[in-house]
Amino acid sequence: MPGKGTRREDATEPGTFASLPLNKEELNSKIKEQKVVVDELSNLKKNRKVYKQQPNSNIFFLSDRTEMLSESKNTLDELKKVHQEIENTEKNKIKK
């Protein structure tokens, strides 16, 4: 099914982490998921259609591929920052 990898299962806007994973395993899972989304969007042909799921609904709207790619990369960067903060916090706890 074309565009399956572009679907956002968590139904959150990029950069908004209302449903932020509470533990490291969930965060790693979200990072892997977001990497797949970025890869799928990066490998799409320019003429392919991309649909964005609206938050808290099952409605999809046509979206710009480059805009979705940019938003997905930003979301991935934010998730990586949170992961790094968790890693740093754990290292500091171990040192003390």
The pLDDT-based confidence of 20 (bands split at 50, 70, 90) is low
Measured between alpha carbons, how far is 30 from 53 in angstroms, rounded to an integer? 17
Closest CA to 72 of 5, 1, 2: 5
Whether 95 has a pLDDT exceeding 50, the answer reads yes
**Contact in structure between 51 and 62 (CB atoms under 8 Å):** yes
Look up the pTM and report it. Answer: 0.71
CATH 1.20.58 fits domain 4-95: no
**Contact in structure between 7 and 1 (CB atoms under 8 Å):** no
Tokens encoding 31: 């990072």
Calculate mean pLDDT across residues 49-75: 95
**Contact in structure between 33 and 71 (CB atoms under 8 Å):** no
